[in-house]
C-alpha cells in the first residue's frame, strides 16, 4: 500500500525536483503539499507549489497548503541560488490562484484523518510543523515519521559558517520540532553535500515530450549556472531530493540515534544544530540522524525515480 505523505516545501529548485519524484511515485500517496517561506517569501512559495503541480499535472492532485511568515520574519531567502522567482527565473504561469487553507491547518487535518499513517517530509524551514504541533499538541504522537532536510552535524553551515539554511530561517520552530516527541529522521548537510550532479544529468532525464522532462529541462540549467557563479562548481547539489530518497530508499542511508538541539540565540551561531557527540553523550536521543550514504546508489535512485515519473501518464 502506498505510504501517505505530506510534502512541506519552499520551492526552490531542489524542492521542485523532489516534487517531480514524489507526485508520481507509486510508493507514495501525497495527500498534501504544504508551502513554507524559505527559499522564497511565503506568498511566492504558495504560488510556486501551485505552479509546479500545474506544470507536472500528476495523476492525483494533492491538497495545497498556504505559507505564512514565521513569527520573526524570514532573516534571508535563497533567491541568489534559486532565481528571482525561486524556480530559476522561469516565471511559470498559474492558471487560477486559489486561496488554499493555511499549511498548518492542513497538516493537522490530514494527520488526524489517518492517525499514525502519515509521514511528513520537511524540505524547508520547520515553521509549519512547529505551528501544527502548537495547534494540536497531541499531533507529534499521531504523525507517523518526520523526515527533515536540515542542519549539519560536524561540517560547516551553508548560509552562515555555523548554520544550514532551513534551520537558520526559523530556528525557534526547528527547536520546537527537534524537542517534540515525534519520531524523526534528519538528513543533514554533511550527507546531502556528498551528492553532486554534473551537467550530464540533463542527458539522463525523461525527454521534452514528458511533462517532468520538459519541466526539469527548464529549471535545472539555471541551477547549474547559479552553482558556477556562486561557488565556481561545475555541478549541483539536490539536498531535498536526497532527503526524499531517504524516505523512499532508506537502505542507502546509515543512521544513528542522537540527541540534537538548535541554537536560537547565538551571536555567531544562531540556527546552528548542536548534537551531543561526547564520548559519553548525556542528552536524550531524540532523532535518527543520517551520517553516511551510498552516493552512487542514491544518484542512480534519483535518476531512476525521475525517469519513472516521466513514464507515468498524467
Contacts with Ca ion by CB under 5 A lie at 10, 12, 15, 123-124, 240
With CB cut-offs between 5 and 8 Å by kind, which of ligand BDR, Ca ion, none does residue 78 bind? ligand BDR
State the cell numbers at 101.
487553507
User: For residues 9 and 136, which CB has a smaller minimum distance to ligand BDR in the complex?
Assistant: 9
With CB cut-offs between 5 and 8 Å by kind, which of ligand BDR, Ca ion, none does residue 158 bind? ligand BDR
Binding site for ligand BDR (CB under 6 A): 12, 14-15, 39, 78, 123-124, 149, 158, 164-166, 189, 239-240
Residue 239 a catalytic site member = yes
Q: Closest Cα partner for 184 from 289, 292, 29? A: 289
Q: How far is the CB of 141 from Ca ion (least distance, A)?
A: 26
Q: Closest Cα partner for 21 from 195, 245, 180? A: 245
With CB cut-offs between 5 and 8 Å by kind, which of ligand BDR, Ca ion, none does residue 88 bind? none
User: Can you give the length of the chain in residues?
Assistant: 314
Q: Closest Cα partner for 140 from 170, 118, 164, 166? A: 118
Q: What is the bridge-based pairing of β-strands 260-262 and 101-102?
A: unpaired
Q: How far is the CB of 147 from Ca ion (least distance, A)?
A: 13
CA distance 39 to 142: 29
Contact 30, 5 (CB under 8 A): yes
User: For residues 174 and 210, which CB has a smaller minimum distance to ligand BDR in the complex?
Assistant: 174
Q: How far is the CB of 34 from ligand BDR (least distance, A)?
A: 14
Distance of CA 284 to the CA centre of its chain: 26
Give backbone dihedrals phi and psi of 283, rounded to 5 degrees, phi first: -75, 145
User: For residues 136 and 244, which CB has a smaller minimum distance to Ca ion in the complex?
Assistant: 244
CA distance 209 to 203: 14
Q: How far is the CB of 7 from ligand BDR (least distance, A)?
A: 12
Q: Choose the catalytic residue: 43, 82, 141, 239.
A: 239
Q: How far is the CB of 14 from ligand BDR (least distance, A)?
A: 5
Report, in this order, helix, strand and coil percent for the chain, each rounded to 5. Answer: 40, 20, 40
CA distance 6 to 121: 6
Q: What is the bridge-based pairing of β-strands 184-187 and 146-149?
A: parallel
Note every long-range contact of 226-234, with CB atoms under 8 Å and residues 24 or more positions apart, other chains counting: 226/80, 226/81, 226/82, 226/83, 227/81, 230/80, 230/81, 233/196, 234/198, 234/199
User: For residues 188 and 310, which CB has a smaller minimum distance to ligand BDR in the complex?
Assistant: 188
With CB cut-offs between 5 and 8 Å by kind, which of ligand BDR, Ca ion, none does residue 136 bind? none
Q: How far is the CB of 39 from ligand BDR (least distance, A)?
A: 5
User: For residues 35 and 108, which CB has a smaller minimum distance to Ca ion in the complex?
Assistant: 35
With CB cut-offs between 5 and 8 Å by kind, which of Ca ion, ligand BDR, none does residue 241 bind? none
CA distance 90 to 84: 9
With CB cut-offs between 5 and 8 Å by kind, which of ligand BDR, Ca ion, none does residue 62 bind? none
User: For residues 6 and 136, which CB has a smaller minimum distance to ligand BDR in the complex?
Assistant: 6
Report helix, strand or coil for 34: strand
Catalytic residues: 239
Amino acid at each position: 500500500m502506498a505510504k501517505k505523505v505530506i510534502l512541506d516545501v519552499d520551492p526552490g529548485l531542489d524542492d521542485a525536483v523532489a516534487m517531480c519524484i514524489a507526485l508520481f511515485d507509486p510508493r507514495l500517496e501525497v495527500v498534501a503539499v504544504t508551502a513554507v517561506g524559505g527559499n522564497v517569501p511565503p506568498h511566492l512559495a504558495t504560488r510556486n507549489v501551485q505552479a509546479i503541480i500545474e506544470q507536472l499535472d500528476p495523476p492525483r492532485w494533492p491538497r495545497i497548503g498556504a505559507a505564512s511568515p514565521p513569527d520573526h520574519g524570514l532573516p534571508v531567502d535563497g533567491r541568489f541560488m534559486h532565481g528571482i522567482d525561486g524556480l530559476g527565473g522561469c516565471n511559470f504561469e498559474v492558471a487560477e490562484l486559489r486561496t488554499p487553507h493555511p499549511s498548518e491547518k492542513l497538516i493537522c487535518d490530514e494527520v488526524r484523518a489517518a492517525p499514525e499513517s502519515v509521514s511528513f517530509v520537511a524540505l524547508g524551514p520547520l515553521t509549519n510543523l512547529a505551528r501544527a504541533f502548537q495547534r494540536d499538541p497531541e499531533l507529534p504522537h499521531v504523525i507517523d515519521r518526520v523526515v527533515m532536510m536540515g542542519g549539519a552535524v560536524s561540517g560547516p553551515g551553508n548560509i552562515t559558517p555555523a548554520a544550514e539554511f532551513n534551520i537558520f530561517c526559523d530556528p525557534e520552530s526547528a527547536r520546537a520540532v527537534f524537542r517534540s516527541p515525534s519520531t524523526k529522521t534528519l538528513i543533514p548537510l554533511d550527507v546531502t553535500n556528498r551528492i553532486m550532479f554534473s551537467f550530464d544529468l540533463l542527458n539522463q532525464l525523461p525527454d521534452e515530450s514528458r511533462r517532468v522532462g520538459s519541466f526539469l529541462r527548464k529549471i535545472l540549467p539555471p541551477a547549474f549556472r547559479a552553482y558556477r557563479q556562486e561557488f565556481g562548481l561545475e555541478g549541483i547539489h539536490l539536498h531535498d531530493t536526497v532527503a526524499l530518497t531517504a524516505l523512499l530508499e532508506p537502505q542507502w542511508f546509515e543512521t544513528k540515534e542522537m540527541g540534537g538541539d538548535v541554537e536560537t540565540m547565538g551571536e555567531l551561531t544562531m540556527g546552528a544544530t548542536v548534537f551531543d557527540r561526547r564520548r559519553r553523550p548525556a542528552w536524550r536521543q531524540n532523532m535518527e540522524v543520517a551520517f553516511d550514504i551510498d552516493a552512487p546508489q542514491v544518484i542512480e535512485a534519483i535518476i531512476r525515480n525521475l525517469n519513472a515519473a516521466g513514464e507515468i501518464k498524467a
